[in-house]
């Protein structure tokens, strides 16, 4: 683990690290905000944030404006890159497949399978590294994300509830097996057997697993230019069917970008603080 950059921020530090990843078979980077409490060695609650298509480990740290409230709450924020990177890693021929578009799943198809093991990277390798190397309160770890990362947050939380105690999302891809983004990515990464896709689909997972969390929070802009890809209604219906408490807030005038995230980031951090302390 090599420190690439460190900047003082609200009496804490915003850092970027690089690591040689066994899961991804390449060097990867992640961002981490350490509040003053963590720098002093105090065990702190932690949130993993999964970013969306085309983003990197820096996007959330720069654009979300989350550090101020995280500092007040004494909360560690972790933001991995969205895919493996490097000259040896398959790139794809469009912005929504390949590098920058890992979808937080483990690919099984060539040429992606060798490096695109993002589920294992986040839920196993990076999770273990963070809990070993930083003062994280082990029973107070949550996950949230945006768009593709919202899909990742929901699915990883549902798959690993023993690791993630809370979950929320901004404009998540709620049913990727039923939208063009998901169909394109899953066909490439997982193959054409659609039955295998359901293990990576939040709507299908909630229907299969039932109620898992005390509450799930989702914020969605109604002027989101990608609304037709996101299907929050399908996820809401699945939650209602199995009795999973869901707060789905739909906001007039807001689109898909980080101005939307900035507007409600404080609510999400407070939501996680409450859930993690419950």
Active site residue 256: yes
Would you say 21 and 38 are in contact if contact means Cβ atoms under 8 Å apart? no
CA dist 36 and 13 (Å) reads 8
Point out the catalytic residue in the list 115, 146, 151, 256. Answer: 256
- Tokens 């989702």 belong to residue: 218
Point out the catalytic residue in the list 147, 166, 168, 177. Answer: 147
DSSP character at residue 205: H
Active site residue 93: no
Parallel, antiparallel, or unpaired: how do β-strands 44-50 and 166-170 relate? unpaired
SS3 20: strand
C-alpha to C-alpha distances, 95 to 14, 147, 227, nearest whole angstrom: 28, 14, 18
CA dist 169 and 256 (Å) reads 12
Active site residue 201: no
Would you say 65 and 268 are in contact if contact means Cβ atoms under 8 Å apart? no
Would you say 127 and 204 are in contact if contact means Cβ atoms under 8 Å apart? no
CA neighbours closer than 13 Å in the CB half-sphere of residue 69: 16
Point out the catalytic residue in the list 224, 236, 268, 272. Answer: 224
Catalytic positions: 147, 224, 256
């Amino acid at each position: 683990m090599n420190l690439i950059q460190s900047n003082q921020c609200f009496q804490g530090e915003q850092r970027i690290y690089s690591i040689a990843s066994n899961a991804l078979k390449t060097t990867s980077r992640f961002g981490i905000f350490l509040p003053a409490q963590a720098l002093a060695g105090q065990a702190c609650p932690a949130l993993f944030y999964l970013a969306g298509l085309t983003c990197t480990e820096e996007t959330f740290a720069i654009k979300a404006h989350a550090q101020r409230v995280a500092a007040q709450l004494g909360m560690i924020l972790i933001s991995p890159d969205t895919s493996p990177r490097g000259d040896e890693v398959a790139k794809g021929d469009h912005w929504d497949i390949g590098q920058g578009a890992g979808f937080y799943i483990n690919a099984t198809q060539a040429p992606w399978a060798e490096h695109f093991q993002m589920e294992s990277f986040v839920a196993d390798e990076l999770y273990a590294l963070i809990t070993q190397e930083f003062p994280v309160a082990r029973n107070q770890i949550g996950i949230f994300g945006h768009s593709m990362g919202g899909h990742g947050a929901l699915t990883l939380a549902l798959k690993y509830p023993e690791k993630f105690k809370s979950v929320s999302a901004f404009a998540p891809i709620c049913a990727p097996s039923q939208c063009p983004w998901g169909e394109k990515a899953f066909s490439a990464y997982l193959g054409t057997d659609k039955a295998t896709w359901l293990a990576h689909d939040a709507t299908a997972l909630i229907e299969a697993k039932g109620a898992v969390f005390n509450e799930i929070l989702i914020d969605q802009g109604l002027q989101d230019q990608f609304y037709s890809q996101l299907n929050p209604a399908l996820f809401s219906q699945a939650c209602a069917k199995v009795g999973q408490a869901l707060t789905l807030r739909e906001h007039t005038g807001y689109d898909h970008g980080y101005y939307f995230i900035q507007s409600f980031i404080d609510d999400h951090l407070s939501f996680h603080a409450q859930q993690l302390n419950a």
